[in-house]
Amino acid sequence: MEKGAYDVNAIEKKWQEHWEANKTFKTWDPACIDPESPCDGSKPKYYVLDMFPYPSGQGLHVGHPEGYTASDIVARYKRMKGFNVLHPIGWDAFGLPAEQYAIQTGTHPAQTTQRNIDNMRRQIKSLGFSYDYDREVDTTDPNYYKWTQWIFLKFFNSYFDEAEQKARPIDELPIPEALSGEERRKYIDEHRLAYESEAPVNWCPALGTVLANEEVVGGLSERGGHPVIRKPMRQWMLRITKYCERLLEGLDEVDWPESIKKLQFDWIGKSIGAEVDFKVDGREDVIRVFTTRPDTLFGATYMVLAPEHPLVDVITTADRKAAVQQYREGASRKSDLDRTDLAKEKTGEPTGAYALNPVNGERIPIWISDYVLISYGTGAIMAVPAHDERDWEFATKFNLPIIQVVAPREPVEGCFAGEGVAVNSGDFTGLSTAEFKLKITDWLEEEGLGTRAVNYKLRDWLFSRQRYWGEPFPIIHAQDGEVVPLSEGDLPLTLPEVEDYKPMGTGEPPLAKSADWLNVTLPDGRKGTRETNTMPQWAGSCWYYLRYMDPDNAEAAFAKAKEEYWMPVDLYIGGAEHAVLHLLYSRFWHKLLYDLGYVSMPEPFKKLINQGMILGEDGQKMSKSRGNVINPDNVITQYGADSMRLYEMFMGPLEATKPWNMQGVEGVHRFLNKAWRLMVDEETGELAAAVQDVPADEATTRLLHQTIKKVGGDVESFGFNTAISQMMIFVNHMMRLDARPKDALEKFVLVLAPFAPHVAEELWQRLGHDETLAYEPWPQYDPELVKEKEIELAVQVLGKIKDKIVVAADAGEDEIKETALASEKVQAAMGGKTPKKVIVIKSRLVNIVV
């Protein structure tokens, strides 16, 4: 230990042990719920949540403690402000790395996971976060995933009531009387919110699993960047699309960064338009298209079907069959990556068939092309090349006619996709785009040719993975084809032991390797096999914030009374990378639980903050290959957890991306040492002689009250960096005093405590207190004492500063004016002219206009 520095490691260890031994941060439910509880039920509650980490073998990186420190400061601050604070932590522990390791080494993923959790818990504890570790959850614990499976059964056993726009138990589903037996069963299965589907999916051969749309980025897997191809497979899906509208509406209620809301808004991708029927010339078949621009119907010069569209086989003429078939096969084999790459050059084939434009009877050719997606809208479009960039490109390449039907306000080259005035549009000519849309939609509805329609980009959530290390589905496939859910009493369905963890290449998951587990006999004697897919990693994180409220409950996922007390999450801090994945999925789950009456509010996360990324010292993203990774353990050993916490907050605004700088850690470490020496004698280790029971002088009192005000206000608005600056100013001031008023120092220690809790506790104790300061009331400031007595004003002439004057804080406008005009420098700058106008901004400046 250097001279002038306190013994960081000893003090931090001492207090971490103290908190643990005394259960300082145990969170009690209010006495009305738990009769044993010492918690005063009249206290307001505050739920501060961190996005729980994946326990990786790498352990914590410096990005984790950033959000965790911010939330810990808020949690500690709120406790001092008299809130009953829930501040938990847990482990999002299912996931690929542990399974990949198992495939390579044969180590059970549970073992690897446990080891990683233990290491990360150690690291997190070493930072002195005030979590209630009795509430830890681990998504891989059967006592936890029992309830994940339970929620899955809720999805399975529910349908969506369109009229009420909410989920209801499947028993309440109205079933057409005519149906019975197999048909009836099929009807019910088709309405479940969890359903099976044989659909083309994102298959990643390298990972041996399918991926959700959200996990595929630019045709490559989000994890690992492996190619992804489309392949039809049987999969479990969750009907998130039923909730599009409510997921959009809910965004209005929450206090989230606008950018995140917009990301979700765009991901859901609502578009309003019309569906229009085009008759196929010479046939009874009708092609239905979706368009957001029904006002351009007169400009539709051809149609395009997605290669997978069911009518392609029906309408293709004999002479086109071979070419069309070849194109379809090519498209189906293309990976998403290829499709994206080839996006620059449009391809397609005419089917030989023609359609009739419903507005003018024009005969227009029908093509197929992979620029039309089967999964959006109706899988078919009317092409209006004059007013759609993609159609323009296609029409230009294949020499298809282009007819202008919208006149732009100012002439433009090429395609015009904006709004304007209709031309070449029969009776509708002359209408504005907006008017046209309304009129033509009405007309289409009257004529029975179309209808207004809404489409969403969001697709149903592909909810199964061909992996070992995930929650097993509580589902049995009976021999006769019926899908039978386990009863709630049979949960949890635990993972079987298997000899090895490799997927079977064919897409058959590793669970199929365990025959004992796989084959079952149902209570009614039928034989069946268990579902061998497992749930995706997102499943466990969809509801963990609810389990924290009641982590040991064996009877329910959580008790209703506890949910009513603690929810919603008042503050949720985590990385922006979860903007559309975790945050959308968990909102969806929450809404199901809300519909079924298990939770009391439709939105789980009231306020959301994204911490920014921390870059390496070279300003680049931290990565092993660049060798610029900062290991928190090393920083803590060298400078201590308090310095680590303080530095992470001092670097800049929480949301910003900012580079690490080891010398900056030194800087805050010096500040803590200074604060220490303010109160402790370096030589003797006793309380410094300068610490005295004397009243603070005026300047000190004022600065103290300013500091209490500033730090409190900054914590409330998450401006941690400026709060720390203010504390530095206070310490710099106190250092100069020979007699340091003890009362002011005590208040300062309390203010410092949420940021640097270890050193604050130690100083608090040395100042003569026996109890932890964690529940000491946050010091109050007196608004009167915050005010300066005398203030310096800048005096400007024509906006340029010429002099500074000092006046009493309560000086009137006239007095200030007089003082300002009396200044020699001001007189000189005015050059004898008379002031035209004198602007006095109290406590700021004076501007003289001549």
Partner RNA sequence: GCCGGAGUGGCGGAAUGGCAGACGCGCGGGAUUCAAAAUCCCGUCCUGGCAACAGGGUGUGGGUUCAAGUCCCACCUCCGGUACCA
Query: Footprint of RNA on residues 391-450 (CB under 7 A)?
Result: none
Using the minimum distance from each CB to RNA, give the nearer residue, 98 or 382. 382
In whole angstroms, how close is the CB of 585 to RNA at the nearest point?
15
In whole angstroms, how close is the CB of 260 to RNA at the nearest point?
8
Distance CA 133, CA 136 (A): 5
736 binds RNA (CB under 7 A): yes
**332 Cβ partners below 8 Å, 6+ apart?**
230, 307, 308
Q: Beta strands 421-422 and 406-407: pairing type? A: antiparallel
Choosing from 31, 421, 576, 786, the residue that interacts with RNA (CB under 7 A) is 576
Residues 299-318 that bind RNA (CB under 7 A): 306
Using the minimum distance from each CB to RNA, give the nearer residue, 74 or 491. 74
291 binds RNA (CB under 7 A): yes
Question: Which stretch, 72-80, 95-103, 720-728, 762-770, contacts RNA (CB under 7 A)?
Answer: 720-728
> Looking at the DSSP assignment, which residues form a beta bridge with residue 841?
845
808 binds RNA (CB under 7 A): no
Contacts 24+ apart (CB under 8 A), 266-270: 267/457, 267/458, 267/580, 267/584, 268/244, 268/456, 268/457, 268/458, 269/456, 269/457, 269/458, 270/244, 270/245, 270/454, 270/455, 270/456
Residues 191-230 that bind RNA (CB under 7 A): 216-218
657 binds RNA (CB under 7 A): yes
467 contacts 96 by C-beta, under 8 angstroms? yes
273 binds RNA (CB under 7 A): yes
Choosing from 330, 352, 575, 667, the residue that interacts with RNA (CB under 7 A) is 667
Residues 744-773 that bind RNA (CB under 7 A): none
250 binds RNA (CB under 7 A): no
Contacts 24+ apart (CB under 8 A), 434-440: 436/294, 436/295, 437/274, 437/293, 437/294, 437/295, 440/274, 440/294, 440/295, 440/297, 440/359
Using the minimum distance from each CB to RNA, give the nearer residue, 557 or 724. 724
Using the minimum distance from each CB to RNA, give the nearer residue, 707 or 765. 707
648 binds RNA (CB under 7 A): no
Choosing from 37, 107, 197, 292, the residue that interacts with RNA (CB under 7 A) is 292
Using the minimum distance from each CB to RNA, give the nearer residue, 491 or 752. 752
Residues 454-483 that bind RNA (CB under 7 A): 455, 457
Residues 322-361 that bind RNA (CB under 7 A): 339-340, 342-343, 346
Residue type, 235: Q
Which tokens belong to 815?
A: 């007095």
Using the minimum distance from each CB to RNA, give the nearer residue, 773 or 838. 838
Choosing from 50, 92, 370, 531, the residue that interacts with RNA (CB under 7 A) is 370
In whole angstroms, how close is the CB of 75 to RNA at the nearest point?
22
Kindly write down the DSSP assignment for every residue of 703-715, as one continuous string: HHHHHHHHHHHHH
Using the minimum distance from each CB to RNA, give the nearer residue, 469 or 671. 671
Distance CA 317, CA 299 (A): 25
Longest dimension (CA), the chain: 109
Distance CA 166, CA 245 (A): 11
664 binds RNA (CB under 7 A): yes
Distance CA 631, CA 803 (A): 51
**559 Cβ partners below 8 Å, 6+ apart?**
33, 549, 550, 553
Choosing from 145, 650, 755, 778, the residue that interacts with RNA (CB under 7 A) is 650
556 binds RNA (CB under 7 A): no
135 contacts 48 by C-beta, under 8 angstroms? no
In whole angstroms, how close is the CB of 642 to RNA at the nearest point?
15
Choosing from 372, 583, 763, 820, the residue that interacts with RNA (CB under 7 A) is 372
Q: Beta strands 571-575 and 608-611: pairing type? A: parallel
Choosing from 792, 810, 814, 815, the residue that interacts with RNA (CB under 7 A) is 792
The Cβ of residue 325 has, within 10 Å, a number of other Cβ atoms equal to 14
Choosing from 32, 206, 694, 841, the residue that interacts with RNA (CB under 7 A) is 841
Burial of 1 (0-12, 13-18, 19+ CB in 10 A): exposed
Residues 812-831 that bind RNA (CB under 7 A): 825
114 binds RNA (CB under 7 A): no
Distances (CA, A) of 58 to 97, 115, 351, 567, 595: 11, 11, 56, 33, 40
Residues 607-636 that bind RNA (CB under 7 A): 621
Question: Which stretch, 47-55, 142-150, 375-383, 491-499, contacts RNA (CB under 7 A)?
Answer: 375-383
118 binds RNA (CB under 7 A): no
In whole angstroms, how close is the CB of 203 to RNA at the nearest point?
17
**677 Cβ partners below 8 Å, 6+ apart?**
4, 688, 735
Choosing from 513, 796, 816, 823, the residue that interacts with RNA (CB under 7 A) is 796
210 contacts 462 by C-beta, under 8 angstroms? yes
Distances (CA, A) of 730 to 29, 702, 829: 38, 10, 38
In whole angstroms, how close is the CB of 292 to RNA at the nearest point?
4
Using the minimum distance from each CB to RNA, give the nearer residue, 350 or 551. 350
Using the minimum distance from each CB to RNA, give the nearer residue, 164 or 790. 790
Choosing from 135, 146, 658, 709, the residue that interacts with RNA (CB under 7 A) is 658
In whole angstroms, how close is the CB of 409 to RNA at the nearest point?
15
